[in-house]
A and B are shown apart, each in its own frame.
Chain A
Amino acid sequence: MADLATLREAVIRGDALAAVAAARATLESGITPVDIVTQGISPAMGEVGRLFEEGEYFVPELLIAARATKEIFQILRPLLAQSGIKPRGHVVLGTVQGDLHDIGKNLVAAMLEGGGFEVTDLGVDVPPEKFIAAVQDKQPQIVGLSALLTTTLPAMKGAIDALRTAGIRDRVKIMVGGAPVTKTYADSIGADGYGENAAASVDLACRLVNA
């Protein structure tokens, strides 16, 4: 398992090149893609999250760790699909309509992927209809809504209301987050969960799907 340790260290350092090299080496040594996720990427991103929570890591460190993870998943995704391995859950994620900020959403996507979730990223400025279509087409367990602006907070409620009007609100759990979002606000708009930061999103998603 020495190569997995190398991979974990590379992810924690945010060294994408070393992480990819380590991922290839582990695959060649016969370690399965699932083990790379569960024993390599997930604990590494967990450590990154812990360092962030403790104030040792900041957003840039999180971003480069996420970037390293993303690069590894480029290699692993087809292999995981071939082997029929199921992710812990499927999250459809987007920044709500009117808001073009992507940093929170990107961080959450990376943390969730690192935590073994499948993520469908709808991007920024996502209208409610697009969330509805994604829930119908992709059948996720969770919809994640992100916002950075106080003016776009109402669009979070708009997206939840639209899912309700479309009759599909109860098919998914909804998690919300972003700089202006608070637990009080999340409760007031009928979200199922509020993530205070990207590092907390994996635990939250696990709770929401009981994974």
Chain B
Amino acid sequence: MTDQEWNTLVSVVRGETLRPVPTGFIIDSPWLPKWAGHTILDYFTSEQTFLEDNLKAIRTFQQTIFLPGFWSEYGMCTEPSAFGAVSMWEENEFPFAKKVLRSPADVEHLEKPDPRKHGLLPFVIKRLKHLQPEIEKAGHRIRFAVARGPLNIATFLMGTTEFLTALKTDPELMHRLLTITTDYLVDWIAYQRECFPSIDGILLLDDIVGFVSRRDCETFALPYLKRAFSADVTVKFFHNDAPCKACAPLLPEAGVNFLNFGIQHTLSEMRTWTGNTISLLGNIPPRDVLASGTPADVKRSVTDMLNALEDRSRLMVSCGGGMPPDVPTENIQALISTVRELTN
């Protein structure tokens, strides 16, 4: 992310109305490698491919912001790998981490990993360290510490069905599990900040928060998200594209000030639920419009969304979620140009 892009993001987070309204997209392995002509596995395993694909996207779409910037990741395997989860790789599929907990009682034996030494985490850091000169030569800096959220990591370790069931059947053990995943997250975020002092933002991705009731969110999500976001940084960015009506009112208290959410809710609804204290990144339908539609469909969708919105402060236009696979270049261009045209 360039200094100018970062300043734009900070202005949005501070509640300014920008003309034109900025656009931005979360880009990572589901979209980027294939768009750039590589396999997912090549993207993960080659530093050069990672760098070239990111630079290609940045240079192709110069009028938008890619979030969180150069994001070193190994999909869903990054955080669970440090707990010893087996990572499964396919040439062109998302990697997948096998569960490490067979029952809630196994939490008793779970140890907090060391982000400096365990799993793929040193690889994440080293990739960025090795590429840092090239990234900075291109005018970009590493701005975000990035991780999956505490509930999301818990589901990787034990399975989504099992974790959500155990919230009801074994709440004490689940609190113990969430304490471990959160302690680990706090360490992991601190280590990323230590390695890259240019970091002034945290991005947490946690769809599981959207699956539970408000009461469960207060009990099992809020205290842990609060701790995970507790570092003193300017941008506290949360991604949850599951339905999040129940959890939305709690997100300001969790510290979130920038939110990417799904297409189940409108921008206006989300503003109301969050007391208009959180800036929003969204929310054109990612699959039905951005990936499968035509540029004309994208233009129509963006126009409808912006016309429905009187107040365009605290907004960065994007899709409702991360960039999905197979979004063509012309649809991204259509989104960017329509937003500029309508909000200049």
Contacts and interface: CB of A to CB of B under 8 A. Distances in A.
B288 A185 contact: yes
Interface string A125-155: 0000000000000000000000001111000
B36 to A, nearest CB: 16
A151 B30 contact: yes
B69 to A, nearest CB: 22
Nearest to B291: A150
Interface stretch (B89-97, B185-193, B334-342): B89-97
Nearest to B94: A151
A14 B166 CA distance: 12
Contacts of B161: 63, 102-103, 106
Nearest to A65: B168
A123 interface: no
Nearest to A55: B245
B164 A63 contact: yes
B287 A151 contact: no
A60 B164 contact: yes
B159 interface: yes
A100 B80 CA distance: 15
A180 interface: yes
Interface residues of B, number: 25
A144 to B, nearest CB: 16
A98 B168 CA distance: 30
Interface residues of A, number: 25
Interface string B143-171: 00000000000000001110011011100
A200 to B, nearest CB: 14
Interface stretch (B45-53, B109-117, B209-217): B209-217
B113 to A, nearest CB: 22
A149 B241 CA distance: 13
A101 B160 contact: yes
A98 B93 contact: yes
A98 B245 CA distance: 31
B168 A151 contact: no
Contacts of A152: 93
Contacts, number: 61
B328 interface: no
A38 interface: no
A14 B164 contact: no
B292 interface: yes
A134 B324 CA distance: 32
B287 A150 contact: yes
B216 A58 contact: yes
B292 A149 contact: no
A59 B211 contact: yes
Contacts of B245: 55
Given A55-B245, A149-B94, A60 B167 contact: yes
Contacts of A185: 287-288, 292
Contacts of B324: 150, 180
B165 A58 contact: no
Contacts of B90: 98
B10 interface: no
A67 interface: yes
Contacts of B167: 60
Interface of A: 14, 55, 57-61, 63-64, 67, 98, 100-103, 106, 149-152, 179-180, 182, 184-185
27 contacts: A58-B212, A59-B212, A60-B164, A60-B165, A60-B167, A60-B211, A60-B212, A60-B216, A61-B168, A61-B213, A67-B165, A98-B93, A101-B160, A102-B161, A150-B30, A150-B325, A151-B30, A151-B93, A151-B94, A151-B325, A152-B93, A180-B287, A182-B287, A182-B288, A184-B288, A184-B292, A185-B287
Given A60-B167, A60-B216, 5 more contacts: A14-B168, A58-B216, A60-B212, A98-B93, A185-B292
Closest 7 CB pairs of A and B: A59-B211, A103-B160, A58-B213, A60-B164, A63-B165, A103-B161, A150-B324
